[in-house]
Amino acid sequence: MEYEQIKVRIENKVALCSIHNPPLNLMTGRMVEELDALLQQLAADDSVRVVVFAGCVDGVFITHFDVSELVALSGSETAAEPPSAVEMPHHRMQRRLQDLPKPVIAAINGRCGGGGCEFALACDLRLMAIGDFAIGLPEVGVGILPGGGGTQRLPRLIGHGKALEMMLLGRVVGAEEAERIGLIHKAVPAADLMPAVMALAERLARGAPIAQGLIKRCVYEGRDLTLDEGLQVEFEAFLRTLATEDAREAMKAYLRGQPYEFKGR
C-alpha cells in the first residue's frame, strides 16, 4: 500500500515509518487516515515485530495538528453536536496504535507538539533527540484544549499535578526535562538517536512477540481496572503464553542453558 504522508521501510523485522508532510510535518486528517490504514497493515504482517515512527523533516517529528483544519472543524456540526469520541478518526487511530500487539517506539527527532505529542504519548516507548526543540501540549495558547487524548494520557504518564501545570500553562519542555519528568524514556544526543532507537527496536524484535503483545494488553487494560480485575486479565494472558510453542521451547532451552529464537507461535 502506498502512502502520501508516510514512508515505510522494513528491515530486520522492524518497520521504520517516517512522517513526511513538509515543511512542518503537520498532522492532518489525511495523515490520520493513512496512519490508521498503516497500523491495520502492520498488525497483519507477521514479518514485522516492532514499529518505529520518526519524522523525516529536519528538526521536526510532528509540529502539531494542522490548525487550519481545526478552524474548519470549529464551525461544523461536529463541534455543535459532538459524536462519541471513539467514533472520531484520531481517537480510533490512536487506540489502534495502543492496541497493536507489537512494541511501538516514537523516535522524536524534532519539534513535537499538540497532536504530535498526543501521537507520541500513544506509542509504547519514546526516545527524543537533545536539541533546540521541545515537546508538549500548548493548545491552551490558541483557546482550545488537547483533544487527541492528551488530557487523558499525559496525566496517566507523568501524574496529574505535572500534567495540569504543563497543559494549563501550555508549557513545552526540552528532551532532558522530558526525561526527568517521565514524559519520554530517554534523551539522546541528536546524532545518536536513530542508532539508539534501531538498537532498541532490534533487541525488541528478538523477543517473544506473543508475550510482548499480551504485556501491552495487560498494562493498558489493567490501568483502568481494579487490582483484582487487572490480576484476572494478567492471569488469563499468562495462561495464553504458557500454551504457546515459544514458551514451551524457550523454557526448555533455558533449562539447557541454550539460546532460543522466538517464532511467534
Catalytic residues: 118, 139
Residue 146 region by backbone torsions, left for phi larger than 0, else alpha for psi between -120 and 50, else beta: beta
Grid cell in block for residue 205: 524484535
Report in angstroms the alpha-carbon separations of 89 from 36, 59, 193, 245. 8, 27, 30, 37
Element (H, E) at 255: helix 245-256
Grid cell in block for residue 65: 495538528
Separation between Cα atoms, residue 31 and residue 26, nearest integer Å: 9
* Residue 19, amino acid: I
Q: In a 10 Å sphere around its CB, with 0-12 CB exposed, 13-18 middle and 19+ buried, how is residue 86 labelled? A: exposed
Cis peptide leading into 89, omega within 30 of 0?
Answer: no
